[in-house]
Amino acid sequence: WSFVRGGWTPTEALRAGTIVPARSLGMDRDIGSLEPGKLADLIVLNADPSVDIANSDKIDQVMLGGRLYDARTMNEVETGTYRRAPYWWEGGASGGSQSPGRAGSFGDGSGD
């Protein structure tokens, strides 16, 4: 958004975050734009960011590794049936018990 505030068009700002860095890294044959044969993790927006760059926050779906997810729930749609477990703040399991590898756990089961 800062690029647009600085005078760039929304399209120029979008390119600055996609094809331009891919080209700079020598990876534009594989990433940076939507073309046949390229790798394509992407987001699906419900508004046009080339009209208003703030629309880049209006994410409807996410495609990662060829699987499509609902952005609000991160449940898989269309490409499969994966449903993630709810986080504690969504009414999932309480954060009362620690498991090895979680923040606050030293792997000895103490949770300290």
What pLDDT, in 10s, does the model give residues 19-76? 999 999 999 999 999 899 888 889 999 999 999 999 999 999 999 888 889 999 888 8
- What's the pLDDT score for residue 62? 93
Q: What are φ and ψ of residue 67, in 5° steps? A: -110, 140
pTM recorded for the entire structure: 0.62
**CA–CA separation, 70 vs 81, rounded Å?**
12
Chain segment 38-49, per-residue pLDDT in tens: 888 899 999 999
- What's the pLDDT score for residue 95? 52
HSE (side-chain half, CA atoms, 13 Å) at 93: 7
Domain coordinates in residue numbering, the chain: 1-33, 41-85
**CA–CA separation, 80 vs 58, rounded Å?**
23
